[in-house]
Amino acid sequence: ECTKRFPERTMGSFACRLMRLLEFPRLDRFVQELSQVMVPCMKLSNMASDLARKLSGGPDLTGDQYRTIILESMRDAFPESEREIGREHEKLKSFKAQWMKLNELDPVKQSSKIKLSIHCILREMKQLVPRHRSLDLQRYSPWLARCYFNNPEEMLELPGQYNVDFEPNVANHVKIVKVRNQLEMFNSMRKPLRVKISGSDGKSYDFLIKYGE
């Protein structure tokens, strides 16, 4: 399996073994799911605003550049994945066709029509912003809501425990036990979410998640 993913003739046997040791599916999945803990409509809203800014920059945006922006942003906003997604992310699916219609327009000849479509998208995204500050993790990442780390070999370290001034003592590092189900949304521009993580030391730790960071 390693030679299929990391051919030894290009990487060498040592590098191949090292890559195998670094594989940690549980960590990869945790990071992927944590990236879903954000207000989904803010993602499409930011993409639409960014496209509007580029169009307003003048006629320098070519048709090919415009379509590349549309397609790349579509893959980010509407990723093809077999993973279970939360209900809040499901709400964006109905806008995929609307976003793809932008790809059919010419940025030079139909810029006014594009800007009108972007305005409509921004207005609809604004209506999808949650009205309450307290949110349910289940609606953003069902996997994280169910996930509970109780096997010491699978536990992940809580971020922020390494210091350049001290030699790390990994044995004493706090591990992640559970991401708590209640989230808190802040009303600043990007609508960041505060998550609480239960540590293996019995304490709760707060982290702020911002889209795009």
Give the contacts of 148 (CB within 8 A, at least 6 positions apart). Answer: 177, 178
101 vs 60, higher pLDDT: 101
The average pLDDT across 148-176 equals 84
Give the contacts of 83 (CB within 8 A, at least 6 positions apart). Answer: 32, 143
Token pair for residue 123? 């207005």
Distance (Å) of CA 21 to CA 15, 17, 24, 180: 10, 6, 8, 30
Supply the pLDDT for residue 127: 94
Pairing of strands 134-136, 182-185: antiparallel
Asked if 93 contacts 115 with a C-beta cutoff of 8 angstroms, the reply is no
9 vs 197, higher pLDDT: 197
Helix extents (H) in the chain: 2-5, 8-11, 13-22, 25-34, 40-56, 63-77, 87-90, 96-101, 111-128, 142-146
Token pair for residue 148? 């509970």
Closest CA to 39 of 177, 159, 132: 132
pLDDT of 23 > 90? The answer is no
45 vs 14, higher pLDDT: 45
* Span 44-61, pLDDT tens digits: 999 999 989 888 876 677
Closest CA to 77 of 113, 118, 36: 36
The average pLDDT across 91-117 equals 91
pLDDT > 90: what percent of the chain?
50
Domain boundaries along the sequence of the chain: 40-128, 133-209
At 22, is the pLDDT very low, low, confident or very high (cuts 50, 70, 90)? low
Distance CA 52, CA 112 (A): 11
Query: For residues 47, 51, 54 and 60, what is the CA-based torsion angle, rounded to 10 degrees?
Result: 130
Q: Identify the burial level of 40 via C-beta atoms within 10 angstroms of its C-beta, where 0-12 means exposed, 13-18 middle and 19 or more buried.
A: buried
The average pLDDT across 141-168 equals 86
